[in-house]
Amino acid sequence: MSRIKTAFLDLGHMDTLSGRDTFAHRIDPRAKLLTTLIFIITVISFGKYEISALIPFFIFPAVMISLGELPVYYLFRKILIVIPFAVMIGIFNPLIDREILMRLGPFSLSGGWISFCSIMIKFTLTAGSVLVLIACTGFNSVCMALEKMGAPRVFAVQLLFLYRYIFVLIDEASRMANARSLRSFDGKGKGIKVFGYLLGHLLLRTIDRAQRIHLAMLCRGFDGEIRVNRRLEAGIREVIFTIAWSAFFIAMRFYNIPLIAGKLITESIL
């Protein structure tokens, strides 16, 4: 039960971070969402053998973390939770692509290992940028920004409900785990068979509670529109923010700054 409760509180900590009053938090959600989308598209557009060109893109999440005063260790732990999915995607690359593309002294790197490293860097950048966006904006504001930018209202509302349903799921799971632990003695009631029954009851209970929550929302006048406390006000600050970062991403896409800097340093030394 303690693990489920800890996961519930840890997940809700993202909403707590989004409520801060910093420069990054005060920027209009639409500007941050659009900039993050451009960042993600630019990162994933790189080839599978390009690694050094991706390094400058760490500047964007680092600057946003600094401006938003976000806890680095907390975000790093969140990335570690989902990084096994990226490992499973690229773990077989070294076995498939064995052509040697790089030699570092006595060591040789095949194309598979380079593409695997590229996948891990891309995943870290994209997942990190999304976490920073949610921590600086809040999931409610992100969904509202999607709707205001032209996304179908049904999609934005369902995405918000999916996020909120996680809290309902964890809360019900915590209650069921507590009840099972109080009724279990000498290891009984903790087998796989009981666990299967608990999953079925958990689904039924969360659906029932979600229906009650939906009826309560309708009684309070919910009409399908996402509303937040803050108003959306896009000004010159948001325009400069979006254009400046977009120009930086595009420039880094076409110019490999680490490679250029390495050549200049090598030529100056020699």
Confidence at residue 176, expressed as pLDDT on a 0 to 100 scale: 77
Query: What's the Cα-to-Cα distance from 185 to each of 66, 190, 197, 204, rounded to whole Å?
Result: 50, 9, 18, 26
Tell me: pLDDT of 130 over 80.
Answer: yes
Confidence at residue 64, expressed as pLDDT on a 0 to 100 scale: 93
253 contacts 41 by C-beta, under 8 angstroms: no
Query: What's the Cα-to-Cα distance from 82 to each of 19, 69, 120, rounded to whole Å?
Result: 24, 23, 11
Tell me: pLDDT of 181 over 70.
Answer: yes
126 contacts 40 by C-beta, under 8 angstroms: yes
7 contacts 125 by C-beta, under 8 angstroms: no
Q: What percent of the chain has pLDDT over 90?
A: 17
Write the pLDDT tens digit of every residue in 134-175. Answer: 888 888 888 888 888 888 888 888 888 787 777 777 777 777
> Residue 107 pairs with which residues in a beta bridge?
104
Rg (CA), the chain: 23
Place 1 in a pLDDT band, splitting at 50, 70 and 90: very low
Tell me: pLDDT of 23 over 60.
Answer: yes
Confidence at residue 188, expressed as pLDDT on a 0 to 100 scale: 65
Mean of pLDDT values over 79-88: 83
How many Cβ atoms are within 10 Å of 27's Cβ, its own excluded? Answer: 22
Tell me: pLDDT of 179 over 80.
Answer: no
